[in-house]
Chains A and B, each alone.
Chain A
Amino acid sequence: MPLPYYVSPEQMMKDKAEYARKGIARGRSIVTLEYRDGILLVAENPSSLLHKVSEIYDRIAFAGVGKYNEFENLRIAGIRHADVKGYSYSRGDVTAKALANAYSQALGNIFTQDIKPFEVEVLVAEVGDNNGAKNEIYHILYDGTIEDEKNYAAMGGQADEIRRFLKDHYQASTGLDESLQLGVRALSVTQNKTLSERDLEVAVLDRTKERRKFRRIPPEALTQLLATAK
Chain B
Amino acid sequence: MNDERWQHLFNDYANSSFVEALRRQSPHLLPGADPRPATPEVAAVPHGTTVLAMRYRDGVIMAGDRQATAGYQVASRRIEKIFKSDDLSGVGIAGAAGPAMEMAKLFQTELEHYEKVEGDNLSLEGKANKLGQMIRMNLQAAMMGLAVVPIFAGFDEKAGVGRLFKYDITGGRYEEKDYDSQGSGSKDARDSLKKLWKRDMSRDDALRCALEALIDAADEDVGTGGPDLIRGIFPTVKTITRSGFGEVADDEVRRVCEAIAGDRTKAERGA
Residues of A within 8 A of B (CB): 49, 51, 54-56, 76, 79-80, 83-84, 86-88, 212
When chains A and B are docked, how far (Å) is the Cα of A192 from the Cα of B105?
A: 50
Instruction: Determine whether the beta carbon of B106 is less than 8 Å from that of A87.
Output: yes
B21 beta carbon closer than 8 Å to chain A: yes
Instruction: Determine whether the beta carbon of B119 is less than 8 Å from that of A51.
Output: yes
Known: A54-B116, A54-B119, A55-B116. A80 touches B26 (CB 8 A): no
Instruction: Determine whether the beta carbon of B29 is less than 8 Å from that of A83.
Output: no
When chains A and B are docked, how far (Å) is the Cα of A80 from the Cα of B17?
A: 9
In this complex, the member of B26, B106, B112 whose beta carbon has the largest number of chain A beta carbons within 10 angstroms is B112
Q: Which residues of B contact A212 (CB under 8 A)?
A: 112
A-B contact pairs, 16 of them (CB 8 A): A51-B119, A76-B15, A76-B117, A79-B117, A80-B18, A80-B113, A83-B18, A83-B21, A83-B109, A83-B112, A84-B26, A86-B109, A87-B18, A87-B106, A88-B26, A88-B29
Q: Which residue of A lies closest to B21 (CB)?
A: A80
Q: Which residues of A contact B105 (CB under 8 A)?
A: 87
B99 to chain A, nearest CB (A): 15
Q: Which residues of A contact B117 (CB under 8 A)?
A: 76, 79
Q: Which residues of A contact B18 (CB under 8 A)?
A: 80, 83-84, 87
B39 to chain A, nearest CB (A): 27
Interface size class of B (residues with CB under 8 A): 10 to 19
When chains A and B are docked, how far (Å) is the Cα of A54 from the Cα of B120?
A: 12
B107 to chain A, nearest CB (A): 11
Q: Which residue of A lies closest to B120 (CB)?
A: A49
In this complex, the member of A55, A83, A87 whose beta carbon has the largest number of chain B beta carbons within 10 angstroms is A87
B110 to chain A, nearest CB (A): 9
Interface residues of B in 96-137 (CB under 8 A from A): 105-106, 109, 112-113, 116-117, 119
B13 to chain A, nearest CB (A): 13
Q: With A54-B116, A79-B116, A84-B25 given, name 17 new contacts (CB 8 A).
A: A51-B119, A56-B116, A76-B15, A76-B117, A79-B113, A79-B117, A80-B18, A80-B25, A83-B18, A83-B112, A83-B113, A84-B18, A84-B22, A84-B26, A87-B18, A87-B22, A87-B109
Residues of B within 8 A of A (CB): 15, 18, 21-22, 25-26, 29, 105-106, 109, 112-113, 116-117, 119
Q: Which residues of A contact B15 (CB under 8 A)?
A: 76
Q: Which residues of A contact B106 (CB under 8 A)?
A: 87
Instruction: Determine whether the beta carbon of B21 is less than 8 Å from that of A84.
Output: yes
Q: Which residues of A contact B112 (CB under 8 A)?
A: 83, 212
Q: Which residues of B contact A88 (CB under 8 A)?
A: 26, 29
B16 to chain A, nearest CB (A): 8
Q: Which residues of B contact A54 (CB under 8 A)?
A: 116, 119
Instruction: Determine whether the beta carbon of A87 is less than 8 Å from that of B116.
Output: no
Q: Which residues of A contact B25 (CB under 8 A)?
A: 80, 84
When chains A and B are docked, how far (Å) is the Cα of A79 from the Cα of B117?
A: 7
When chains A and B are docked, how far (Å) is the Cα of A51 from the Cα of B25?
A: 27
When chains A and B are docked, how far (Å) is the Cα of A17 from the Cα of B202?
A: 65
In this complex, the member of A49, A54, A80 whose beta carbon has the largest number of chain B beta carbons within 10 angstroms is A80
In this complex, the member of A49, A83, A86, A88 whose beta carbon has the largest number of chain B beta carbons within 10 angstroms is A83
When chains A and B are docked, how far (Å) is the Cα of A114 from the Cα of B29?
A: 33
When chains A and B are docked, how far (Å) is the Cα of A54 from the Cα of B118?
A: 11
Q: Which residues of B contact A56 (CB under 8 A)?
A: 116
In this complex, the member of B105, B109, B113, B116 whose beta carbon has the largest number of chain A beta carbons within 10 angstroms is B116
When chains A and B are docked, how far (Å) is the Cα of A87 from the Cα of B108?
A: 10
Nearest 3 A-B pairs (CB), nearest first?
A: A80-B21, A79-B116, A83-B113
When chains A and B are docked, how far (Å) is the Cα of A145 from the Cα of B119?
A: 29
Q: Which residues of A contact B113 (CB under 8 A)?
A: 79-80, 83
Q: Which residue of A lies closest to B20 (CB)?
A: A80
B120 to chain A, nearest CB (A): 10
B157 to chain A, nearest CB (A): 17
Q: Which residues of B contact A79 (CB under 8 A)?
A: 113, 116-117
When chains A and B are docked, how far (Å) is the Cα of A54 from the Cα of B116?
A: 8
